[in-house]
């Protein structure tokens, strides 16, 4: 059986099937308030209500007193229900006890039934009807009519005052916000009430809206909606969480194009000194991202409404005009997969038998590899291969490498991946295959400059993350080895639109720029998933039209069926809970005994899902169904130290998280790859780190909690494609194909279906992250003046997308003048920011020269804002405590997230730290700032306080970044000639390496020495307090 929308609504609101049938048959988009009240009165819940003879007279009187006309006579039960509901809202007094009892029963059902009607209208996309029914829901709950004063909803204002306000009906509610206390006092003729009324007016929930429109395709708009609370919060009046509905309506206000709930939490408010009152921060905005369809011809505008779920008249409307909207140009058609004879690997045998050995694990190249073989292996052209994840693009890269070494045996090839995890996985694969078979030195860059220069010199195939290669290739003019690179392979180029995108864009653009400056042939091969705008990417990397292969998402070596299952539940935790049983059902039906990967939003959910799956298996009478004992014995695998993971793995379900040690993660993955366990549950942030593939992939929801913004945000579409791509060839037989089930919130379904089944376009975000890259090029003298800077931008993907999708980049036209002015303004703004932060100087308004801070920023590869902070914060009197606080505020740590529940955990840890948190540390004592989290974790490291879970992972990241930041801070201080602060920074650097406070006993630096050991040595005669005392003690012994 498959449930329907009406069935879910009936179940959720406990509505009888008779009522839901009546609603289904009679609900119309054009209904007014009269029809809505009549439809409510026809509900099956009120079948037992009858009109008694003695009630008719009173009902007749009530009919004349209620505001909404009742068509039926008082003899009809439906008329009685209608009248009594209106009487309840109007707060009318009834005489008959039986009528009072009936009214009580009706009002108890009214909220539930009206909410059900609202839900049905919302799901059917009827804008006007949804708005009317939601208003009636609030009227019933507040017992206030829409025509009455909104201030009635507070309940504490005297009736006399309210009536006086309602008499002045010529003053609209919006004007009340502009009135002063004196004006309000005059309206009610009681001057002393002015301040009270002014306070209540400004406590009424009000939101300010602002929207930024980004065209994604010609039929899809992305809207970044900024919501700012503009009212005074009071915990005695307002709920801790206030629910609003975001509704996007078409130009006629008839059809709902998108709707989703939005919760404003009291944690977003700043509480007053009394602990009760609070004022919503004027700048504490929340950004909500969503997409809406757009059709041809282009409508003049859409309307975005944010309506309170509880407060009448609390509604903000924002018209979004499309008058100046320029949609992106149409995308070129994808590459057709030709029906070619599969190319046998034996084709290498005559000329290059070693090459055949490289592909010994299969006999034929797949259709994509066959079609691209000629371009990759038989020519030296730049090429772009776009195909779904898991379709064998790595082999395409290997063909280009084989071509390079067959022509130049001593050449150098550089492979760059946006993410370190991707580079690591490729290195593990190539170090054996390419290293052993071809006899070439395969090396991986580490991020340590001296080590990397030696690796670059000795390696033939160099693998690197985009960040490490950017760090190394910035000084390409001084490093001849970089100039000698003959082949670049850029993997996962679709991540140009993601978080790592600007760095990837810079290194690809630099590779082409180097080739043009040196006037030598350098081959670039790009690999990506299916793209809508592949031609722009190909043009950017220098590939010709016949060397761009952009296959559609359904072109896979193994067929993949994608099912999108939607869930109506708005509350995230409840929704993820309701996905557990469907996940188990999907595994039972679609996977049988085959491997399954389940992706979940968080580490905690990974463990809960593993437990749920085992519980459902046990309840079905087959507790060991996920454990395949015949495949391999436990003795063949490494032991797992984490007790929770080990216990779960023993039952056949493994789970991973960032808090696991590397050995435990390897042990779990090996058991999954060898078939010992059938199911592996993985948090979404590890989707790039997991090398395992599966027959079935289940994605449990497409949202995760973003701690910095205190809200749930969508997975990046690139991450989602990576998860789906894990259902690939290695784990499935080619006959049955692979399966993928994506579970999501209902409003996201159409958007996901569109992006998963069609190629998606990528856009550049370089303009938002240009400062550091421009500063680095000025330092290396690649850019010496402003015209050079504009010319630098013309090498980028950003420049190619400006003309194709101008509105995405706030460009109003595509003429040469428009583009020239836009680029000049971008450069001027960026240079002004860098000049203000004293990273560079502008001479004669054109020439650019680097300053000391800019050189430090570029050398240590840190943000210009961090260097600016260091220079502004450090003084001649700064001590160790101040250095730690300055270090914690570095921009490098701004990406640390505060996970759900982590706030309380960090607060408890902070109580045991030697240095208290700064006075400005978070609102209401909350740890909401990444700088505070960094400060707490650094102190736990110095105090050697044990922490668990993902905090260990965060601390590891902080310590890796801290050393280079401290070295940069020493350089900044040395430039000022201050000795004491420089020594303090060096002490903090030692503290970070040793995990000690500067006041701790020196001997704790010795491995395996504990506080107890040090105490015993101190009590020794003579006392042993230093390493030198210890050496003397050994000599004496």
168-211 pLDDT tens trace: 767 888 888 888 989 888 888 888 888 999 999 999 999 999 99
Name which of 352, 458, 365, 444 is nearest 407 in CA terms: 352
Question: What integer pLDDT is reported at residue 270 of this predicted model?
Answer: 41
| From 402-411, 468-477, 989-998, 1004-1013, the region with the lowest mean pLDDT | 1004-1013
> pLDDT for 199-243, tens place per residue?
999 999 999 999 999 998 888 899 999 999 989 888 888 888 889
> pLDDT for 836-856, tens place per residue?
999 999 998 889 999 999 999
> pLDDT for 797-813, tens place per residue?
999 999 999 999 988 88
Distance (Å, whole) CA 350 – CA 361: 19
Q: How confident is the model at residue 630 (pLDDT cuts 50, 70, 90)?
A: low
Name which of 655, 653, 672 is nearest 599 in CA terms: 655
Question: What integer pLDDT is reported at residue 282 of this predicted model?
Answer: 36
> pLDDT for 926-984, tens place per residue?
677 888 999 999 999 999 988 877 888 889 999 999 999 999 999 999 999 999 999 99
194 contacts 181 by C-beta, under 8 angstroms: yes
DSSP for 503-540, please give it: HHHHHHHHHHHHHHHHT---EEEEEES-BTTHHHHHHH
Residue that the structure tokens 């437990």 belong to: 611
**48-79 exposure pattern, b = at least 16 Cβ within 10 A, e = fewer:** eeebeeebeebbeebbeebebebeeebeebbb
Beta bridge partners of 560: 738
> pLDDT for 31-81, tens place per residue?
999 999 999 999 999 988 888 888 889 999 999 999 999 988 888 999 999
Give the residue, 925 or 926, on which the prediction is more confident: 926
Is pLDDT at 486 greater than 90 in this prediction?
A: yes
Question: What integer pLDDT is reported at residue 766 of this predicted model?
Answer: 93
Tokens of 558: 């193994």
Angle, in degrees to the nearest 10, between helices 852-860 and 770-779: 110
Q: What are phi and psi of 164, to 5 degrees?
A: -65, -40
Arithmetic mean of pLDDT, 255-260: 92
Q: Residue 362 to residues 346, 425, 748: CA-CA distances in angstroms?
A: 10, 20, 40
Distance (Å, whole) CA 608 – CA 610: 5
Instruction: Please provide the average confidence, as pLDDT, over all residues in the chain.
Output: 88
Residue that the structure tokens 């920011």 belong to: 833
Question: What integer pLDDT is reported at residue 970 of this predicted model?
Answer: 95
Tokens of 104: 């009580």
Give the residue, 296 or 1033, on which the prediction is more confident: 296
Beta bridge partners of 701: none
Q: How confident is the model at residue 329 (pLDDT cuts 50, 70, 90)?
A: confident
Query: Residue 200: which H helix or E strand, with range?
Result: helix 194-201
Distance (Å, whole) CA 471 – CA 859: 8
Starting from the edge strand earliest in sequence, which strands make up the sheet with 241-249, in order?
256-265, 241-249, 301-308, 315-321
Name which of 881, 902, 841, 878 is nearest 970 in CA terms: 878
Chain length of the chain: 1037
Residue that the structure tokens 């366990």 belong to: 677
Q: How confident is the model at residue 1035 (pLDDT cuts 50, 70, 90)?
A: low
DSSP state for residue 924 in the 8-state scheme = G
Question: What integer pLDDT is reported at residue 401 of this predicted model?
Answer: 93
Question: What integer pLDDT is reported at residue 905 of this predicted model?
Answer: 86
**540-564 exposure pattern, b = at least 16 Cβ within 10 A, e = fewer:** bbbbeeebbbbbbbebbbbebebeb
Name which of 641, 728, 642, 708 is nearest 286 in CA terms: 708
Distance (Å, whole) CA 8 – CA 438: 61
Arithmetic mean of pLDDT, 736-756: 87
> pLDDT for 20-34, tens place per residue?
999 999 999 999 999
Give the residue, 515 or 434, on which the prediction is more confident: 515
**946-955 exposure pattern, b = at least 16 Cβ within 10 A, e = fewer:** ebebbbeebb
Report the percent of the chain where pLDDT is more than 90: 54
Exposed/middle/buried for residue 333 (C-beta within 10 Å: 0-12, 13-18, 19+): exposed
Distance (Å, whole) CA 188 – CA 780: 72
* Cβ contacts of 681 within 8 Å, gap of 6 or more: 598, 599, 600, 606, 607, 609, 610, 613, 653, 654, 655, 656
Question: What integer pLDDT is reported at residue 272 of this predicted model?
Answer: 35
Is pLDDT at 547 greater than 90 in this prediction?
A: yes
Distance from chain centroid for Cα 16: 40
> How many other CB atoms are found less than 10 A from the CB of residue 501?
25
Query: Residue 126: which H helix or E strand, with range?
Result: none
Q: What are phi and psi of 31, to 5 degrees?
A: -65, 145
- ∠ CA 875-881-887, nearest 5°, is 75
Name which of 685, 762, 768, 775 is nearest 722 in CA terms: 685
Report the percent of the chain where pLDDT is more than 70: 95
Tokens of 722: 């990576």
Is pLDDT at 467 greater than 60 in this prediction?
A: yes
646 contacts 677 by C-beta, under 8 angstroms: no
Question: What integer pLDDT is reported at residue 274 of this predicted model?
Answer: 36
Q: How confident is the model at residue 735 (pLDDT cuts 50, 70, 90)?
A: low
Q: Residue 111 to residues 138, 292, 310: CA-CA distances in angstroms?
A: 8, 31, 12
* Cβ contacts of 854 within 8 Å, gap of 6 or more: 775, 778, 779, 834, 838, 839, 840, 864, 867
Distance (Å, whole) CA 852 – CA 778: 12
1030 contacts 1003 by C-beta, under 8 angstroms: yes
Q: Residue 813 to residues 224, 604, 761, 826: CA-CA distances in angstroms?
A: 22, 48, 20, 16
505 contacts 796 by C-beta, under 8 angstroms: yes
Is pLDDT at 281 greater than 60 in this prediction?
A: no
Name which of 487, 471, 478 is nearest 782 in CA terms: 478
**pTM, to two decimals:** 0.87
79 contacts 102 by C-beta, under 8 angstroms: no
Beta bridge partners of 264: 242
Give the residue, 356 or 744, on which the prediction is more confident: 744
Distance (Å, whole) CA 312 – CA 307: 9
Distance (Å, whole) CA 174 – CA 551: 55
Exposed/middle/buried for residue 1028 (C-beta within 10 Å: 0-12, 13-18, 19+): exposed
Distance (Å, whole) CA 169 – CA 548: 68
434 contacts 401 by C-beta, under 8 angstroms: yes
> How many other CB atoms are found less than 10 A from the CB of residue 508?
25
> How many other CB atoms are found less than 10 A from the CB of residue 734?
10
Tokens of 756: 């998963």
62 HSE (CA, 13 A, CB side): 29
Arithmetic mean of pLDDT, 256-263: 90
Question: What integer pLDDT is reported at residue 706 of this predicted model?
Answer: 82
> pLDDT for 853-901, tens place per residue?
999 999 999 999 999 999 999 999 999 999 999 999 999 998 888 887 7
Backbone CA torsion sign across 793, 798, 802, 808 = negative
> How many other CB atoms are found less than 10 A from the CB of residue 191?
12
Distance (Å, whole) CA 196 – CA 158: 11
| From 94-108, 407-421, 763-777, 997-1011, the region with the lowest mean pLDDT | 997-1011
Q: Residue 877 to residues 649, 853, 883, 918, 981: CA-CA distances in angstroms?
A: 55, 20, 11, 18, 7
> pLDDT for 113-131, tens place per residue?
999 999 999 999 999 999 9
> pLDDT for 658-685, tens place per residue?
888 888 998 999 989 888 899 999 999 8
| From 147-151, 462-466, 556-560, 653-657, the region with the lowest mean pLDDT | 556-560
Tokens of 559: 């067929």
> pLDDT for 599-616, tens place per residue?
999 989 999 999 999 999
């Amino acid at each position: 059986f498959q449930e329907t929308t009406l069935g879910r609504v009936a179940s959720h609101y406990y509505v009888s099937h008779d009522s839901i049938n009546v609603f289904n048959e009679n609900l119309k988009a054009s209904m007014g308030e009269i029809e809505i009240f009549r439809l409510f009165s026809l509900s099956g819940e009120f079948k037992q209500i009858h009109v008694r003879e003695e009630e008719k007279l009173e009902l007749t009187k009530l009919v004349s007193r209620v505001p909404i006309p009742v068509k039926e006579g008082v003899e009809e039960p439906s008329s009685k229900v209608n009248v009594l509901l209106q009487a309840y809202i109007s707060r009318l007094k009834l005489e008959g006890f039986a009528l009072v009892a009936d009214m009580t029963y009706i009002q108890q059902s009214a909220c539930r039934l009206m909410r059900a009607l609202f839900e049905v209208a919302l799901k059917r996309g009827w804008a006007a009807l949804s708005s009317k029914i939601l208003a009636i829901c609030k009227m019933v709950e507040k017992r206030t009519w829409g025509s009455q004063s909104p201030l009635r909803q507070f309940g504490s204002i005297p009736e006399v005052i309210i009536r006086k306000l309602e008499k002045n009906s010529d003053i609209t509610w919006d004007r009340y916000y502009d009135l002063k206390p004196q004006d309000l006092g005059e309206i009610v003729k009681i001057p002393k009430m002015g301040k009270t009324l002014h306070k209540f007016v400004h406590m009424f929930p009000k939101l300010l809206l602002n929207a930024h429109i980004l065209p994604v395709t010609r039929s899809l708009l992305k809207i970044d909606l900024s919501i700012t609370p503009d009212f005074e919060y009071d915990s005695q009046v307002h709920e801790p969480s206030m629910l609003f509905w975001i509704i996007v309506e078409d130009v006629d206000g008839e059809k709902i194009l998108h709707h989703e709930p939005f919760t404003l939490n009291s944690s977003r408010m700043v509480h007053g000194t009394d602990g009760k009152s609070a004022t919503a921060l004027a700048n504490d905005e929340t950004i909500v991202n969503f997409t809406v369809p757009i059709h041809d011809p282009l409508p003049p505008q859409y309307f975005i409404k944010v309506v309170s779920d509880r407060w009448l008249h609390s509604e903000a409307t924002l018209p979004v005009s499309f008058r100046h909207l320029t949609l992106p140009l149409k995308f070129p058609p994808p590459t057709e997969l030709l029906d070619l004879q599969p190319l046998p690997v034996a084709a290498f045998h005559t000329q290059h038998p070693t090459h055949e050995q490289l592909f010994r694990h299969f006999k034929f190249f797949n259709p994509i590899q066959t079609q691209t073989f000629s371009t990759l292996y038989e020519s030296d052209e730049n090429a772009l291969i776009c195909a779904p994840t898991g379709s064998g693009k790595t082999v395409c890269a290997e063909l280009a490498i084989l071509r390079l070494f067959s022509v130049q045996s001593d050449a150098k090839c550089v492979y760059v991946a946006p993410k370190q995890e991707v580079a690591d996985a490729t290195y593990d694969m190539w170090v054996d295959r390419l290293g052993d078979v071809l006899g070439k030195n395969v090396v991986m860059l580490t991020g340590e400059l001296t080590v990397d220069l030696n690796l670059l010199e000795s390696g033939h195939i160099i693998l690197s993350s985009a960040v490490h290669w950017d760090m190394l290739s910035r000084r390409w003019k001084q490093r001849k080895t970089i100039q000698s690179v003959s082949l670049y392979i850029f993997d996962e180029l679709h991540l140009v639109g993601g978080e790592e995108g600007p760095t990837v864009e810079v290194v690809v653009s630099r590779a082409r720029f180097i080739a043009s400056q040196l006037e030598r042939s350098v081959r670039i091969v790009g690999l990506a998933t299916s793209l809508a705008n592949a031609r722009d990417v190909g043009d950017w990397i220098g590939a010709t039209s016949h060397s761009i292969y952009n296959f559609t998402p359904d072109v896979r070596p193994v067929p993949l069926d994608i099912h999108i299952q939607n869930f109506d539940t708005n509350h995230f935790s409840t929704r993820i809970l309701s996905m557990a049983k469907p996940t188990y059902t999907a595994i039972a039906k679609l996977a049988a005994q085959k491997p399954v990967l389940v992706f979940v939003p968080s580490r905690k959910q990974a463990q809960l899902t593993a437990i749920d799956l085992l519980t459902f298996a046990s309840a079905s009478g087959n507790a060991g169904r996920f454990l395949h004992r015949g495949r391999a014995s436990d003795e063949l695998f490494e032991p797992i130290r984490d007790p929770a993971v080990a216990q779960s793995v023993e039952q056949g379900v493994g789970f991973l998280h960032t808090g696991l040690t590397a050995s435990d993660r390897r042990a779990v993955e090996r058991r999954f790859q060898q078939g010992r366990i059938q199911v592996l549950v993985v948090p979404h942030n590890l989707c790039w780190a997991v090398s395992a593939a599966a027959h079935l992939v289940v994605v449990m929801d497409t949202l995760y909690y973003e701690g910095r913004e205190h809200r749930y945000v969508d997975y990046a579409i690139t991450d989602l494609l990576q998860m789906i791509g894990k259902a690939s060839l290695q784990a499935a037989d080619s006959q049955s194909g692979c399966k993928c089930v994506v579970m999501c919130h209902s409003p996201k379904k159409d958007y996901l279906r569109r992006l998963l089944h069609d190629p998606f376009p990528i856009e550049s975000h370089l303009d938002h992250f240009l400062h550091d890259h421009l500063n680095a090029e000025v330092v290396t003298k690649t850019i010496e003046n402003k015209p050079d800077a504009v010319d630098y931008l013309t090498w980028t993907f950003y420049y190619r997308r400006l003309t194709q999708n101008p509105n995405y980049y706030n460009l109003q036209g595509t003429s040469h003048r428009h583009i020239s002015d836009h680029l000049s303004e971008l450069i001027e703004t960026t240079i002004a920011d860098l000049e203000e932060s004293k990273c560079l100087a502008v001479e004669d308004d054109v020439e650019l020269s680097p300053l000391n801070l800019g050189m430090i920023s570029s050398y240590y590869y840190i943000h210009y804002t961090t260097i600016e902070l260091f220079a502004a914060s450090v003084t001649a009197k700064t001590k160790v405590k101040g250095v730690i606080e300055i270090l914690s505020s570095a921009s490098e740590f701004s990406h640390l997230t505060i996970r759900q529940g982590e706030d309380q955990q960090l607060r408890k840890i902070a109580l045991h730290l030697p240095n208290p948190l700064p006075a400005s540390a978070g609102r209401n004592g909350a740890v909401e700032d990444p700088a505070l989290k960094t400060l707490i974790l650094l102190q736990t490291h110095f105090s050697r306080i044990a922490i668990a879970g993902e905090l260990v992972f965060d601390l590891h990241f902080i310590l890796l970044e801290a050393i280079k930041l401290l070295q940069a801070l020493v350089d900044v201080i040395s430039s000022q000639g201050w000795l004491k602060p420089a020594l303090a920074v060096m002490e903090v650097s030692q503290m970070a390496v040793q995990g000690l406070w500067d006041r701790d006993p020196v001997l704790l630096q010795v491995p395996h020495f504990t506080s107890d050991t040090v105490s015993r040595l101190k009590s020794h005669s003579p006392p042993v307090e230093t390493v030198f005392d210890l050496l003397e003690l050994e000599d004496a012994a």
